[in-house]
Homo-oligomer: A and B are copies of this chain.
Amino acid sequence: MDEQTPAFTIVGAGLGGALMANYLGRAGHRVDVYDGRPDPRAQGFVGGRSINLALSTRGLTSLADVGLADRVLEDAIPMRGRMMHSARGELSFQPYSKDPNDAINSVSRGGLNITLLNAAEEYRNVRLFFDQKLMDVNLDAPAVRLQDQQSGEERVEQARVVIGADGAGSIVRKVMAERPLFSNSVEFLEHGYKELTIPPTEAGEFAMEPSALHIWPRGGFMMIALPNKDRSFTCTCFWPFKGENSFERVPDRASVQAFFEKEFRDTIPLMPTLLEDFEQNPTSPLGTVRCYPWRHEDKVVLLGDASHAIVPFYGQGMNAAFEDCRALDARIAESTDDLEVAFARYEEDRKINADTIADLALANFIEMRDHTGSPAFLRRKRFEKTLHRLLPGWYKPLYNMVSFSNIPYAEAREIARRQAMQIRFVGRLIQIALVLIIVLVIGMTL
């Protein structure tokens, strides 16, 4: 291994890979980053999943570490709550938090990625290579085999450490999965998603309230919309592929029109290109990836979607990946001389939290599509907010801990469980007390 071999070879220049390059660049390591796609700064952004994403406290904390939080927030639109749209077009707004400063931030995936790449390239010890598609990984060398997408030629690059930040379809993970005892799980929902657009009005304004995440909850399926900086909204339909109220049931323009008139009537005047967009935009799957281990010795380590892709319903996929970068950087800084220890601690720290947010994201889909519209849900949210206001030291709603704190996901879920148990216990005490009072009152009147 010669002097030219970088300390870290990152595969994937998406959000996680690009942020990791910033962390390692800042720490002074020699870093090479390879991505199979063209440079988004030269060619326009290609691929990736949704157009905008919700950036919240965890992600912002990591961006602040590398000095980018303010720059990113300049281009973000804060969303302070959920705006529910009923089938008849009635609106109701639920703030995310008792604190009006708590907001999740709608950011452009492409814009954020470019910001991260530009910042990474400012470190002289970081190099970015595009059009370099990963074909294979030698875990033991370690080394990566890359194919130049211009010439078609393949070559092998030796590495000291390979960081697999190559997304949900990770090649690095697939190679690791060939080894004994590697647990690997890819599970798809029966729902897919399709993106649509609400452009700015003719007057150049937002067509709906911009500081909210809009939801059309319909029970079993839903649509959501997030604001963009250009005053448009990106809508996403989350519907089943098959069966009732599914993509399969709207095969042509007439059926799309009829379905929107029935279920999303208030959006029709806002979507002049609905039928064209619906026809042209792809319907994509939604999956959860889980695997273990996340590393091979001190040589290969996974982060972000490569090790734990999740469904988008808690708005935490990117935030969790950015937490991975923060944790991995910290563990490397603690144990630069023994990366096996660093990676083992990173894995131990992150695996349980990744599993937790995967579960929470799946559960939140059911909450968003089935319950956000119901009176019982609204009452429960009000009760949670009242408790939070009355007993801020004791009670924190789970949503707030996930979105507006850096409490590890698994710990947040434990706290939420404990709170729920305590509330049930108090409820039972109140029941018993009421029975006692009734008995006493009856006893006294007799």
Chain A residues at the B interface, C-beta cutoff of 8 Å: 180-188, 241, 285, 287, 290, 292, 432, 435-436, 439-440, 443
Contact = CB atoms under 8 A, between A and B. Distances in A.
Contacts of A436: 435, 439
**Which 4 A-B residue pairs are closest in the complex by CB-CB distance?**
A185-B185, A183-B187, A181-B188, A183-B188
Contacts of A186: 183-185
A164 to B, nearest CB: 19
Nearest to A289: B185
Contacts of A188: 181-183
A241 B186 CA distance: 25
| Interface core residue of A183, A241, A292, A439 (most chain B CB under 10 Å) | A183
Contact of A440 (B183, B290, B292, B439): B439
Contact of A435 (B183, B184, B241, B435): B435
Contact of A285 (B181, B241, B290, B432): B181
Contacts of A440: 439, 443
Contacts of A292: 187
Contact of A185 (B187, B241, B432, B443): B187
A126 B187 CA distance: 37
Given A432-B435, A435-B436, A440-B439, A184 B183 contact: no
Given A183-B186, A185-B185, 14 more contacts: A180-B285, A181-B188, A181-B241, A181-B285, A182-B188, A183-B188, A184-B186, A184-B187, A185-B290, A187-B290, A432-B432, A432-B435, A436-B439, A440-B443
A127 B185 CA distance: 36
A436 B180 CA distance: 61
Nearest to A286: B181
Contacts of A181: 188, 241, 285
Contacts of A183: 186-188, 287
A290 to B, nearest CB: 8
A281 B357 CA distance: 40
A386 B394 CA distance: 43
7 contacts: A181-B188, A181-B241, A184-B186, A185-B186, A187-B290, A432-B432, A435-B436
A181 B283 CA distance: 12
A320 to B, nearest CB: 20
A181 B184 CA distance: 16
A285 B183 CA distance: 11
A290 B285 CA distance: 19
A439 B442 CA distance: 12
Nearest to A192: B181
A443 B181 CA distance: 66
A21 to B, nearest CB: 31
A407 to B, nearest CB: 27
A62 B186 CA distance: 32
A241 B292 CA distance: 15
A184 to B, nearest CB: 6
A180 B440 CA distance: 67
A292 to B, nearest CB: 8
A184 B187 CA distance: 6
A443 B438 CA distance: 13
A357 to B, nearest CB: 18
A436 B440 CA distance: 10
A99 to B, nearest CB: 38
A28 B187 CA distance: 38
